[in-house]
Every structure is written in structure tokens, then in C-alpha cells.
């Protein structure tokens, strides 16, 4: 993850209504945090930031590309009943799995964890 700090840009926006979001800034995918992010505990900040890095990976790789890559591994992001962590949205499932895979202390959904790590590498992390 060390290189991620140079690859993923994080910006502060004092008008951001939520803790953090992932979106393009000046044409490049980035993470934007706001005042609510600063109010979080350090552990929660870590979780939120890595979740947003998961969204960044998704954007860098591209939704269509990673969905095809997932399907080639036998994962079905379109099947809401099989998404990890009780998620119903494939992009949130991806981002939450990214956090868990990086933390490395939960072995559930190992195929998804392996998959998001591979996508992180594909994104250059």
C-alpha cells in the first residue's frame, strides 16, 4: 500500500456533505474528504480511506473491465444475492471487499478478496 499514497491523490473539500467520496478532480480519479472525515476516529478514517481507494481502483480499472474479470473467475457481480458483506450494489461490494482484503483479518469471501487484490495490482497499486 505504500505506493498507493503517491498514486492516489486525496483532496480536502470543506463543503463536502459526507465523510469522503471518490471522483475525478482536474480530470484524474481522486479521493475527496470533508469535515465529517476529520471528525472520525483514526480507525474509522483508515476504513473510509481504504474503502474510497477501493472505489478508485474500480474507476481506474473500469466497471465493465472488472465485471468481465470477475465473471472470468466465476464471480457474478450482477447477482445481488451473492455479493459479499451483505451488499446489494456491486461497486460497494467491491470497495468493502477491498478494505477487508487490505486489512487481512477476515477470511470470508476469499475469491472476492483475491479478485480485488488483483484489480488493485491492475490499477498500479
* DSSP 3-state of 25: strand
Window contacting Zn ion (CB under 5 A); options: 69-77, 79-87, 89-97, 109-117: 89-97
Contact 13, 35 (CB under 8 A): no
Considering the rule CB under 5 A, would residue 70 count as an interface residue with Zn ion? no
Considering the rule CB under 5 A, would residue 95 count as an interface residue with Zn ion? yes
Considering the rule CB under 5 A, would residue 33 count as an interface residue with Zn ion? no
- Pick the closer one to Zn ion by CB: 63 or 72: 63
CB of 63 to Zn ion, least distance (A): 13
Cα separation of 56 and 82, whole Å?
A: 23
State the residues that interact with Zn ion by CB under 5 A: 92, 95
Amino acid at each position: 500500500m505504500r505506493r498507493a499514497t503517491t498514486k492516489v491523490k486525496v483532496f480536502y473539500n470543506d463543503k463536502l456533505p459526507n465523510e469522503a467520496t471518490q471522483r475525478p478532480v482536474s480530470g484524474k480519479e481522486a479521493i475527496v474528504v470533508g469535515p465529517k472525515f476529520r471528525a472520525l476516529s483514526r480507525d474509522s478514517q483508515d476504513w473510509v480511506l481504504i474503502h474510497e481507494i477501493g472505489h478508485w481502483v474500480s474507476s481506474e480499472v473500469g466497471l465493465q473491465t472488472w465485471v468481465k474479470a470477475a465473471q472470468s473467475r466465476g464471480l457474478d457481480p450482477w447477482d445481488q444475492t451473492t455479493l459479499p458483506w451483505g451488499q446489494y450494489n456491486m461497486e460497494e461490494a467491491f470497495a468493502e471487499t477491498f478494505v477487508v482484503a487490505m486489512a487481512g483479518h477476515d477470511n470470508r469471501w476469499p475469491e472476492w478478496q483475491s479478485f480485488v487484490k488483483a484489480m488493485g495490482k491492475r490499477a498500479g497499486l
